[in-house]
Amino acid sequence: MKRPIIFISNDDGYRAKGFNEIVNCAAKFGDVIALAPDETQSGKAHAITMYDPLYLTLRRDEPHIKVYSCNGTPVDCVKMAYDWLLPELGLTPDLNLSGINHGSNAAINVLYSGTMGAAIEASFYGAPSVGLSLDDHSYDADFEATLAFAERLIPAILAMEKPTEPLCLNVNVPVARPEEIAGYRICRQTRGFWREEFFCRQDPRGRDYFWLTGGFCNHEPNAEDTDEWALKNKYIAIVPIKVDLTDYGRIEMLKGLKL
């Protein structure tokens, strides 16, 4: 039987442990074509490159696995794959994966995440798309629980009927051993925002420079139907997301605006 085609990207770069772990995992279920950034592109969201050339490099060529990289953003990688590389190879993916990201993309992080930018962009081309993240920023993070869940999730998504509208899932996994995972929750994005702090320092020439830090402010810490609650309680959080940002509830109110 023909093996499914699985496309994979990420934002941590093609060398990242999480990326290589999911490439190897997905190859158990289909033929993997992966295109990831040359270097870390975290926080790039849906950014694209418009004024610099992009370069494509084959990094790995094995049975059932081809890994490429390019010098662009995660969304650049998806666009280059779908609009040039995959047609050149005569392939149409059955599933898109992005990750495994080193760090959570729950709550409002979905707006900043290059991992989710790639997942969302890939969903526009027709196949279901999944962004996978582990709530651990460590370079050598333990992905065992994430991979155990991925081995259940990948065949389940492949068995679904092809969606008629873009389907994208934001999947976040808590830091835990596989036996410590409480299960999974289909939930919603937590309402909250990052509040940044900028630390000002001076370089040897007396010029000010800034380092960005800050913390996440959870506006509903006790809401049990959110992704942040799920992660804190050792559940895998699955949030279906969409691109339409229209605030439908305010359309009628705004019709009465006198301009």
Read off φ and ψ for residue 127, nearest 5 degrees.
-80, 150
Give the pLDDT band (50/70/90) at residue 1.
low
- Which CATH number is 5-189+222-243 given? 3.40.1210.10
Q: Please name the amino acid found at residue 32.
A: V
- Within 8 A by CB and 6+ apart from 211, the residues are 198, 199, 201
Which residues make beta-bridge pairs with 202?
208
Tokens standing for residue 156:
């389940």
- Taking only the tens place, the pLDDT of each residue in 133-178 is 999 999 999 999 999 999 999 999 999 998 899 999 999 999 999 9
pLDDT at 258: 87
Read off φ and ψ for residue 6, nearest 5 degrees.
-120, 120
pLDDT at 217: 86
Q: Please name the amino acid found at residue 182.
A: A
- Taking only the tens place, the pLDDT of each residue in 71-122 is 999 999 999 999 999 999 999 999 999 999 999 999 999 999 999 999 999 9
